[in-house]
C-alpha cells in the first residue's frame, strides 16, 4: 500500500457576526508517509553498522595475535628440581617425553610432549614404580596413589594422585598439554622405588577400579631428576 502526500488546512472558528471568508487560512501542513523516512534512516544507520563491524573485526584480529608472554609461557626451568622421562614403546618407538615440575605452591606442573600416538582418546597415568619392562610394562605397578585414594575423579575417594585427564589425540599423533597436580611433591615422585609414566590403549572412564578400564599399556617412561 502506498501513501500519497495530502494537505490539512486548519481554519480558526470565526468570531460571531464575522464572515468566515475574511479569516486568513493557515498554511497547509504536509502529511509525510512513513515510507518516505526509510531512505534517510538507512543512510544514517549504514555508516554506524559499518563502523561497528570494522571495530569488531579489529578486536578479533588483535585477539588472534598471540602476546609475547602468552606465546612462550613461563620458564619453569628456573625453579629447578624437575623430573623427566623419555617415553618409549615395546619396540623402542620414541613417543616423546614427560616433565614434572614441582612448584612452591605444592602443585606440580606436568608437561606432556608426546608423538606417534594412535588417534583417538587414550589414558595416561603416573604409576607407583619406576620400571618399564617390555612388552606389557606390568613392572610399573599400579597407579601412583596416596593412602586412602581410589581411582578416578568420579569416585567418592578419588582420584589417585597419579591420575590425569584423557588425551584427545589428533590424526597427527602429536599432543602437547600441561596439567596441574596438587600434592605431587618431589618426595612422592622420588621415593625408594621411583615413579613410572604409562600411556594406555583406551580411554579412562574416571571411576572403574583400579585403573578406569584403560586397557593395555602402550608405552612407558621412568621419571628421574632432570639434569
CB 149 within 8 A of CB 157: yes
CA nearest to 215, candidates 181, 147, 146, 166: 166
- Residues 151-173 pLDDT 10s: 999 999 999 999 999 999 999 99
If you write DSSP's letter for every residue of the chain in order, what string do you get? -----EEE---PPPPTTS-GGGSPPPPPEEEPPGGGGHHHHHHHHHHHHHHHHHHHHHHHHHHHSPPHHHHH---GGGG---EEEEEE-TT--EEEEEEEE--TTSEEEEEEEE-SPPSEEE-EEEESS----TTT-GGG-SB---TT--SSTTSTT---TTB-PPEEE-TT--EEEEEEEET--HHHHTSTT--EEEEESS---SSSTTTTT--SEEEEEE-EE--
* 38, pLDDT greater than 60: no
Which residues are CB-neighbours of 204 under 8 A, at least 6 positions away? 123, 125, 152, 163, 166, 211, 212, 213, 214
- In angstroms, the CA 1 to CA 3 distance is 7
If 0-12 CB within 10 Å is exposed, 13-18 middle and 19+ buried, where does residue 49 land? exposed
Longest dimension (CA), the chain: 124
Burial 146-169 (b: 16+ CB within 10 A, else e): eeebbbbeebeebbbbbbbebbeb
pLDDT of residue 40: 52
pLDDT above 70: percentage of residues in the chain = 69
pLDDT of residue 58: 44
* 52, pLDDT greater than 80: no
Is this structure's pTM higher than 0.95?
Answer: no
pLDDT of residue 9: 52
- Residues 193-207 pLDDT 10s: 999 999 999 999 999
pLDDT above 90: percentage of residues in the chain = 62
Across residues 136-164, what is the average pLDDT?
Answer: 95
Which residues are CB-neighbours of 89 under 8 A, at least 6 positions away? 95, 218, 219
All three cell numbers of 179, joined, read 596439567
* 106, pLDDT greater than 60: yes
Mean pLDDT of the chain: 81
pLDDT of residue 70: 57
All three cell numbers of 170, joined, read 589428533
Across residues 178-197, what is the average pLDDT?
Answer: 95
Give the chain's domains with CATH numbers.
6-64 (no CATH), 81-225 (2.60.40.200)
Q: How many residues does the chain have?
A: 227
* 56, pLDDT greater than 60: no
Amino acid at each position: 500500500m502506498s501513501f500519497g502526500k495530502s494537505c490539512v488546512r486548519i481554519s480558526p472558528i470565526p468570531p460571531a457576526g464575522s464572515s468566515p471568508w475574511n479569516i486568513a487560512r493557515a498554511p497547509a501542513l504536509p502529511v509525510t508517509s512513513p515510507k518516505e523516512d526509510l531512505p534517510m534512516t538507512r543512510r544514517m544507520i549504514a555508516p554506524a553498522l559499518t563502523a561497528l563491524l570494522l571495530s569488531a573485526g579489529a578486536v578479533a584480529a588483535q585477539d588472534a595475535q598471540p602476546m609475547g608472554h602468552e606465546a612462550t609461557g613461563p620458564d619453569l626451568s628456573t625453579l629447578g628440581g624437575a623430573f623427566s622421562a623419555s617415553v618409549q614403546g615395546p619396540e623402542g618407538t620414541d613417543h616423546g617425553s614427560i616433565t614434572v615440575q614441582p612448584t612452591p605452591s605444592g602443585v606440580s606442573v606436568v608437561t606432556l610432549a608426546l608423538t606417534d600416538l594412535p588417534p583417538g582418546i587414550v589414558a595416561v597415568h603416573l604409576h607407583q614404580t619406576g620400571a618399564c619392562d617390555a612388552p606389557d610394562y606390568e613392572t610399573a605397578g599400579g597407579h601412583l596413589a596416596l593412602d586412602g585414594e581410589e581411582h578416578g575423579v568420579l569416585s567418592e575417594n578419588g582420584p589417585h594422585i597419579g591420575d590425569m585427564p584423557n588425551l584427545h589425540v589428533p590424526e597427527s599423533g602429536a599432543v602437547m598439554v600441561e596439567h596441574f597436580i596438587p600434592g605431587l611433591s618431589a618426595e612422592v615422585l622420588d621415593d625408594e622405588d621411583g615413579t613410572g609414566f604409562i600411556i594406555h590403549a583406551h580411554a579412562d572412564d574416571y571411576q572403574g577400579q583400579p585403573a578406569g578400564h584403560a586397557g593395555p599399556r602402550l608405552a612407558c617412561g621412568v621419571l628421574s631428576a632432570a639434569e
